[in-house]
């Protein structure tokens, strides 16, 4: 399936391009107190190592805004300042080197305040994300929430256009998947501004992964979306991992190690869940080396699935009754002892890199 991407303007956040033909980028947000520079830098470096390309930090006060310059000196990816209510924090964040500003029109409603933020961003040539959330959008009794979200986006676009400013990225997030999808579809028809995709307040891992995968995945398959953030009530490193898997699943980012495994059944006589967990942990260091190409690795619990149902895997291991086997492209290579399955798999992955 060939995805035809929506035409959008190209905007740079630091050195990362968003929109037009640029690859869909992955974002996340720190959970630390931004004023705690050491803790924030530590978390950002972990996220960067996991594959995060743009990081957002909460700016609650002046101390957080002033910390941006110190944080920026110690990280390698662009930093976005997340601003609510107080436009002065946006100005201070820009002054301290933020690469992008996110404002919420639902709680920054004074046009003069917005104008000051826009002019400061314009002076530094940095973009602004108009981040609309269903929970804070101005409601009208006659409209559905989707109508109000789209109206908020249109009003902000017109306001920014009046200021002669077009370095705009838009997001329209709701905690309801269908609302989110429809809001993005409608805004995609009225502007060529790049779109930042996400489902807000998606919940803990299981719920959040399901909601984000459907909401973001459907839009990406329709060609809508230029950058994504998966929101999870969890360690933000998981957000990056899930985002990578979404891009891979829809065929946008065909790179990295893709681990497939069977759901197990009565034929499985090995602890496959534990085996897959061990494999994921052992293969993590190889993800960076495989960033430019894809390797499909299969871990199967019986001879039916491996190599049979996993014959398209580049490399695979399976447990066949009393012995393990190593296979490549559906062909058995050799038998392997149970306690050597992971070791053998890693050796073969390393050989593929040569």
Confidence check: pLDDT of 165 > 70 = yes
Contacts 24+ apart (CB under 8 A), 15-23: 15/78, 16/53, 16/54, 16/77, 16/78, 18/127, 18/169, 18/194, 18/196, 18/226, 18/227, 19/169, 19/193, 19/194, 19/226, 22/226, 23/252, 23/253
Which domains does the chain carry?
A: 11-249 (3.20.20.20), 256-353 (3.30.413.10)
Cis preceding-peptide flag for 269 (omega within 30 of 0): no
pLDDT at 354: 62
Residue 174 φ/ψ, nearest 5 degrees: -135, 165
Over residues 261-289, the pLDDT tens digits come to 999 999 888 899 999 999 888 887 777 66
DSSP 127: -
- Give pairs for 297-300: CB < 8 Å, separation 24+: 297/257, 297/258, 297/259, 297/260, 297/345, 297/349, 298/259, 298/260, 298/261, 298/327, 299/259, 299/260, 299/261, 299/272, 299/275, 299/345, 300/261, 300/262, 300/272
Q: pLDDT per residue over 171-217, tens digit each?
A: 999 999 999 999 999 999 999 999 999 999 888 999 999 999 999 99
SS3 of residue 151 by DSSP: helix
Q: Are strands 323-328 and 315-320 parallel, antiparallel or unpaired?
A: antiparallel
Spatial strand order in the sheet of 256-261: 256-261, 294-300, 315-320, 323-328, 331-336
166's torsion region: left (phi>0), alpha (psi -120 to 50) or beta?
Answer: alpha
pLDDT tens digit string along 230-264? 999 999 999 998 999 999 899 888 767 889 999 99
* pLDDT at residue 63 is higher than 70: yes
pTM: predicted TM-score of the whole model, two decimal places: 0.91
Per-residue confidence (pLDDT) for residue 141, from 0 to 100: 59
pLDDT in tens, 285-323: 777 667 667 889 999 998 788 888 899 999 999 987 778
User: Is there a contact between 317 and 324 (Cβ–Cβ < 8 Å)?
Assistant: yes
Nearest to 82 by CA among 53, 52, 60: 60
């Amino acid at each position: 399936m060939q995805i035809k991407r929506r035409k959008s303007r190209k905007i740079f956040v630091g050195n990362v391009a968003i929109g037009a033909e640029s690859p869909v980028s992955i974002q996340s947000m720190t959970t630390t107190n931004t004023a705690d520079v050491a803790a924030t830098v530590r978390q950002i470096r972990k996220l960067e190592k996991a594959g995060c390309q743009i990081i957002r930090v909460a700016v609650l006060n002046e101390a957080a805004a002033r910390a941006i310059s110190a944080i920026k000196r110690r990280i390698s990816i662009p930093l976005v300042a997340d601003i609510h209510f107080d436009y002065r924090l946006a100005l201070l964040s820009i002054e301290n080197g933020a690469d992008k500003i996110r404002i919420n029109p639902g709680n920054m409603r004074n046009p003069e305040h917005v104008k000051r933020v826009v002019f400061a961003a314009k002076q530094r040539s940095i973009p602004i994300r108009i981040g609309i959330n269903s929970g804070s959008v101005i409601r009208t009794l006659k409209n559905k929430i989707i109508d109000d979200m789209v109206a908020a986006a249109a009003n902000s676009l017109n306001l920014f256009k009046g200021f002669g400013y077009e370095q705009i990225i838009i997001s329209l997030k709701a905690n309801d998947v269908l609302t989110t999808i429809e809001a993005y579809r409608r805004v995609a028809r009225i502007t060529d501004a790049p779109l930042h995709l996400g489902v807000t307040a998606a919940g803990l891992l299981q719920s959040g992964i399901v909601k984000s995968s459907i909401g973001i995945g459907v839009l990406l398959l329709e060609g809508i979306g230029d950058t994504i953030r998966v929101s999870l009530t969890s360690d933000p490193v998981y957000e990056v991992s899930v985002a990578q898997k979404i891009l891979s699943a829809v065929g946008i980012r065909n790179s990295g190690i893709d681990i497939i495994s069977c759901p197990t059944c009565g034929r499985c006589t090995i602890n496959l869940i534990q085996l897959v967990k061990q494999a994921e942990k052992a293969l993590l260091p190889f993800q960076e080396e495989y960033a430019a190409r894809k390797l499909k690795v299969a871990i199967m619990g019986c001879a039916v699935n491996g190599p049979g149902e996993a014959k398209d895997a580049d490399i695979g291991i399976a447990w066949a009754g009393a012995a393990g086997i190593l296979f490549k492209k559906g062909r058995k290579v050799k038998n392997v002892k149970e306690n050597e399955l992971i070791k053998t798999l890693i050796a073969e992955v390393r050989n593929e890199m040569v």
